[in-house]
A and B are shown apart, each in its own frame.
Chain A
Amino acid sequence: MRFRSDLKNTRTFSKLVAALSSLEKIAWLRLDDDTVRFTVIPDTGSQVWASFSMDFIFNNYAIQSAEPNNTINLELPLSPLQRALKSALSGSSALIRLTKKDGIPVLSMTITTSTKEPQGAARQGGIGANPGAGNHRGNYDDDEDGVFAHEPLETNLRREREKIVTQDIPVRVLHPDTVETIMQPKIRDPDVHIQLPPLLQLKAISDRFTKLAIAARASTSTNAAAASAVSSSSYSPKLELSANMHGGLRLRLDTDSLNVESRWSGLENPELDPAQLECALEDHPSTRFREEGPNKWATVRVDGKDWSKVLSVGRLEGRVIACFADDHALIMYVYVPQYDETGGEDSVVTYYVSSYSA
């Protein structure tokens, strides 16, 4: 079993991993000749299937295994991967390979980096360029007073020094039998498909509704201790999300004491491609929803906290299509932008959003 590759699109890769790790600590990574796929299936909450062509994040890759299509299945922890990618972001090149160290399989990332040595006041190393998050008082770096002012002059004139950083992410190699049973969910044809408004906005409003619900619940309780008890992590309000085939989206919070709603209009309901449909376009449920007018809503209920984690995918800045199966399921397709145009066809992150009945 062999895998090695140069990394590219590290920033997008890193954002993807950040989005996934808000849902779960461990991901299943599946590599083969053509496709790289990340799958995250939390015990509770939404699951994600993110599929990319290998070209999207890998360059000059070599992959080999005894399985068909040289498939390799790994289980890997997301937060070390995220940390390693953070190092890679500040480096000039990064190589990744599957190997064994001390008897433990690891994905080993080798990053070539050089220390930026700005002339004069040595401040521009900057928070952004630094890989570290462990700096409790990182602001000192940006202090206008120049905390490095005492450095001897010649150190500021030193040439850039190369460093080779090796980050080993522990992984588990999964047997094909283990993964065979993990199936992507199958959902009926959606009633409504709609392009979501900018996720930053949707997330800000959703988060506010979630907090409102908790605050409302806490304030209706007379006992202060009980109030803090209900606002603890055990309680998570449900938000009602609806869409129609006339560009409308509705987010609603309905509690005993409080009813708030945000509406979006003029959103796009993308056209379906008849060639890809299993049925005739006129038989598709979305056609019926469109014909029944803007008052015909498809509605699902989502968990406020889980929904917030899902919306974390907004950092990928992709176009997001939400597919509503009324009172049944919500799927989100995040089309990841490929600015370099070299990537393959399928760069889509699919969220099966946990939904609840009324």
Chain B
Amino acid sequence: MAVLNFTLSEEGVSSLRDALTCVSKFSDEVSLEAKKDKVSKRPADNEAGITTKYRLPFELTPPVHGKFDRNEASNHWSIRSRSLRQIMDYFGPGIEYLDFHSEDDETVNFTCFTEKVKNGEEVLKKPLHTSIAVERGEFEDFDVHEDQLHIVISVKDFRAIIQHANFLGSQIFAFYSLPTKPLQLKYEGDGIKCEFLLMTVGERGAPGQKAKKNRGGAKGPKPPQLEAATSRAASHAPTPVPRVPPQPQATRPDPVPSLRPSIIRPSQRPPPATFESESLFVPQDDEHQWDPVNLGEDEEEENARLEWDIRGDFHAPATNARSMMTNRNTQESTSNNATEDDLPHLEPTQRLSQVRKFGLFDD
């Protein structure tokens, strides 16, 4: 039986983890292959410390590789991962596919769409439809033989790849031929080389045509995931219906028709910032501070934080009923000696001269 021993450097651990994070978005299982002649040895540091052992279940399988004929893939382009990520950032949630094609000599178009069938009532649940025209100059090179050659891939997969490539700050290379033929994405950096093989969808808009795909990143048998990708729970979106407003309780015979308060027009200045600048409760400049009060999943955490907040606790006994009672009991029993207690202590207020001896103030 083959034996594989290897040591990862610190950087190796982190880049392997990043790679696994990416690959795990494609499959739960990952195949490791090692080739002897490719492994360069590095001495392990002999550092004292804690040793932790992990045993991971695995099975030996013959490696499965996606098939890709680079000679067939006559179209290619390359672009900085950061540019691609900026493009992808414009797309909203809930989309399934990305279509890219060159519009003309000047522009390349990226469009996201979804194939989920929506009937008339659900039109408003359709995700935001985004398309982006990018100048060819944004690409390092762009060599595609046919304009309007629509290549359609899964957004979920693409996002995972872009994200990983972006960590490495690398250039991404794409090689492909025609729709329904595989597309290869490559990038490298920091001692790691990545190749992904994505199946492209044929004609957009043909519902039955869900291509299965091979993935170079995660080898081994996989379910075709294009169908499963991005199954978002349909959000409840009721249509506004006329709601009867709370009616006045006849305290006045007829409600006044004016809806505005008859207030002399207030100035347009924002309210005074006196309190805001020293708010004790929430961090400033945080958009989340306007989020509705969160009483959801992380309730326990919130409550735990609510209980007794030691950090700002200058009056400890008063904030905690339990300890207040404890204190009262002990004070009762010791109240007789309390006055005779002549240890130095500070009254709530005193003269400056009295406290100078504590060295709290400059002379």
Contacts and interface: CB of A to CB of B under 8 A. Distances in A.
B268 A169 contact: no
A182 B241 CA distance: 7
Interface string B291-327: 1110110011011001100000000000000000000
Contact of B124 (A77, A312, A315): A77
Q: What range describes how many residues of B lie at the interface? A: 35 or more
B248 A188 contact: yes
A346 B291 CA distance: 26
B115 to A, nearest CB: 12
Interface residues of A, number: 124
Interface string A111-142: 00001000000100100001111111100100
B257 interface: yes
A273 B262 CA distance: 6
B120 to A, nearest CB: 9
Given A28-B240, A314-B290, A130 B129 contact: no
B166 interface: yes
Contacts of B266: 195, 270, 319, 321, 335
B88 interface: yes
A132 B88 contact: yes
A223 to B, nearest CB: 16
Contact of B255 (A24, A27, A186, A199): A186
Contact of B260 (A158, A236, A348, A355): A348
Given A132-B85, A188-B251, A215-B303, A276 B262 contact: yes
B252 interface: yes
A308 B80 contact: no
Nearest to B89: A132
> Which 8 A-B pairs give the minimum distances between C-beta atoms?
A132-B89, A185-B245, A204-B281, A276-B262, A308-B293, A80-B128, A168-B129, A148-B169
Given A125-B82, A165-B133, 13 more contacts: A26-B239, A115-B83, A166-B132, A170-B123, A198-B273, A200-B276, A228-B300, A271-B264, A273-B264, A273-B265, A312-B291, A315-B287, A325-B248
Interface of B: 80, 82-83, 85-93, 107, 123-135, 137-138, 140, 159, 163, 166-171, 189-190, 235-243, 245-246, 248-249, 251-252, 255-276, 279-282, 287, 289-293, 295-296, 299-300, 302-303, 306-307
